[in-house]
Structure 1
């Protein structure tokens, strides 16, 4: 009679796990291309058309109301990684809220600067340029539209 050792059990379990991983990976490298993908059914196509038209009509979800952005200041939208400023009355600008120094999210807008809490970098609310280092590059400007009292990402 053959004796089953702990080593035999461990090797057997490891081999089974390896086989499962290799089987899963075998289909990983073959993405579906547009040419080989099946076209959507008529039902799928027609159900997406109203959604697309609604989104186009709205111009996207409003980021803020113009009244939310103080003149000479701004507001950070952490979830969208955007900061919107109003350098002068009725003039709205938007920038990435990701500091160009170390990738932290800027936290506040005060005294006409966008302020990063990590290392003290400050950026101009007018053009995103560096007002105080250690950052050396400006914040990336983002495109927005102002429609009535709504501010939207373009």
Structure 2
């Protein structure tokens, strides 16, 4: 079956229309998904660099907080020591939700990660949470 127009000059060839439609669909899909969403590799932070995530007072010592919009979880394993990791579980890309007892916990399949270094403490995940860059300036925690 020919893919070119049967009537020259009557408009773009079917091949051109299909290629353009495919490219537009791919662009829309990538924009909707965001960087690394749901791919299971942990992705990275989605917020722009230098943006303020929150205040140090929001992060309890020995615990943490998930900043869902930024795709980051920030922990404070010991007083004044702040760590940040991707909030996407490396098992299947679910967002981690809970930080307790020094662990970052994924609700989808119950993977547990260290709040200190992101390492896997309980599977099914086999890869650690990727680190995210943050700076602490006064009371502000910023994504770098």
Task: Please name the residue that 2:33 is paired with.
Answer: none
Q: How does 1:5-154 map to 2 (within 5 A)?
A: 19=11, 22=14, 25=17, 60-154=50-144
- Pairwise CA RMSD of aligned residues? 2.5
Partner of 1:56: none
CA deviations over 1:10-31 (Å, ceiling 9, x no partner): xxxxx9xx94684974995xxx
| In structure 2, distance between residues paired with 1:21 and 1:80 | 43
SS in 2 for 1:86: strand
Shift in CA distance, 25/112, structure 1 to aligned 2, threshold 3 Å: same
Question: Which is greater in Rg?
Answer: 1
Q: Secondary structure at the match of 1:141?
A: coil
Higher RCO, Cα 8 Å, sep 6+ = 2
Question: Residue 80 of structure 1: CA displacement?
Answer: 1.1
5+ residue gaps, structure 1, are 1-14, 29-58
Residues 85 and 20 (structure 1), Cα distance of their counterparts in 2 relative to 1, 3 Å cut: same
| 1:125-149 per-position Cα deviation (integer Å, ceiling 9, x unaligned) | 0000001111111000011000000
Structure 2: unaligned runs, 5 residues or longer: 1-6, 21-48
Runs of 4+ in 1 over 3 A off after TM superposition: 18-28
TM-score by length of structure 2 reads 0.68
User: Would you tell me which structure has more helix in proportion to its own residues?
Assistant: 1
Q: When the two structures are aligned, how many residues end up with a matched partner?
A: 108
